[in-house]
Amino acid sequence: MAKKVALLQGNSACALGAIYAGCKFFGGYPITPSTEVAEVMSEELPKVGGKFIQMEDEIGAMASVIGASLAGSKSLTATSGPGVSLKQELIGYACIAEVPCVIINVMRGGPSTGMPTGPGQSDVMQARWGTHGDHAAIAVCPESCQEIFTETVRAFNLAEKYRMPVQVLYDEIVGHMRERIVFPEPGELEIIDRAAPTCSPEEYKPYDAKSDTDVPPLAVFGSEYRFHVTGLNKAADGFPTTKANLVAFEERRQIAKVECPEARADIESNEEYLTEDAEVVIFAYGSSARSARYAVNKMRAEGIKAGLFRPITIWPFPEKRVAELGKQVNSMVVVEMNLGQMIFEVERIVKNDCKLAGVFRVDGDPINPGEIMAKVKEVL
């Protein structure tokens, strides 16, 4: 039987990917260019027994998502950069309390209100360091409508598996374009649910980690498993503590559960295009990678051995593979719709192994292949 196919906007693909992943709650507040995610969720969630709520602001939306997740529902919110700025305190709460949830950020220009209807990629560092304190971060960055669907599903899987907030970053271009989507059959994509406790309610401790990379099981708040949730540093039972050894272990464990080699291998996802013999590699993500791929094809036709490295998971940063490419090529060109953010991560990894240059744009227009080709020829 042929699969269902549709011409779908990126924001709609995001909402339907969330439904496929088992999302049962959406708490949000309208903001350009993400509002269509909320609109579709308001239509689709009631069909699967889910709940939709439009809160009074982005802060309330994030609070509702945390509450719904603790009560046992896979939960989603969608916003743009200014909304993520408002959510940051509660994103930090979700980090320290280890509450699984997914945050969609359809990026636009900034700072502040910026250019609401234009694309941008200036929130990548916000996704890593936006909330204060030491914390782990997982963020993915799809480049197409089809990939928005599948990466939204994967974001829910990662949130549930590692018990933490996960951000999906794509820009206004991909969010508002329409492309052919092939819908996976039920069961075709892996769906992961959070681990539930197997001990008795009396024995349950919500943060009882067995190792420094452990992810404790999470009970449903309001069930027979009674437990305490706080934004303070806490002991295994969830109640606050100031004991140095417990605080240090807890802080380090929450980062190690994402940064350890096993987790990185599970979380990281990249695409490479013609990098095997490349002498220059273009590092690009999101919609900018689409222009970069076209530029690679044009340069190959001219005899320039160019390749594309596209991080799909931008956090954790793909350090190992970028380091390998830095030793292989003569030059690396980072392409992004900001004034230089991810280029500093690339620079940190490749150091003096190859030449490094950037193509940046913040005027609301996409980066075109000609700009990329000109920069590559400049650094060769």
Domain ranges of the chain: 5-182, 271-379
* Distance separating alpha carbons of residues 14 and 38, to the nearest angstrom: 10
pLDDT above 90 (res 204): yes
**What's the CATH class of domain 271-379?**
alpha beta
Radius of gyration of the CA atoms of the chain, in A = 21
Helix (H, G, I), strand (E, B) or coil at 165: strand
For 53, 62, 90, 298, the CA distances from 191, given in Å and listed in that order, are 24, 23, 26, 39
- CA 110 from centre of chain: 19
* Distance separating alpha carbons of residues 268 and 140, to the nearest angstrom: 9
DSSP 101: E
Helix (H, G, I), strand (E, B) or coil at 221: coil
Torsion angles phi and psi, residue 314, rounded to 5: -95, -25
| The residue to which tokens 């190792």 are assigned | 211
pLDDT above 80 (res 1): no
Token couple for 75: 């939960």
Residue 3: per-residue pLDDT? 86
Average pLDDT over residues 121-141: 97
Residue 47: per-residue pLDDT? 97
Residue 111: per-residue pLDDT? 93
94 in Cβ contact with 101 (< 8 Å): yes
Name the band, by pLDDT with cuts 50, 70 and 90, for residue 196.
Answer: very high
Pick 257 or 212 by higher pLDDT: 257
Torsion of CA 233, 104, 318, 122, to 10 degrees: -100
CATH of 5-182 given 3.90.228.20, 3.30.70.1150, 3.40.50.970, 3.40.50.10860? 3.40.50.970
Token couple for 329: 């090529």
pLDDT above 90 (res 290): yes
Torsion angles phi and psi, residue 151, rounded to 5: -75, -30
* Distance separating alpha carbons of residues 356 and 353, to the nearest angstrom: 9
Spatial CB neighbours of 86, under 8 Å, sequence gap ≥ 6: 57, 58, 59, 62
Considering the chain, what percentage of its residues have pLDDT values greater than 70?
100
Helix (H, G, I), strand (E, B) or coil at 49: coil
pLDDT tens sequence across 355-367? 999 999 999 999 9
pLDDT tens sequence across 145-195? 999 999 999 999 999 999 999 999 999 999 999 999 999 999 999 999 999
Torsion angles phi and psi, residue 218, rounded to 5: -120, 120
Q: Which of 178-182, 200-204, 210-214 has the lowest mean pLDDT?
A: 210-214
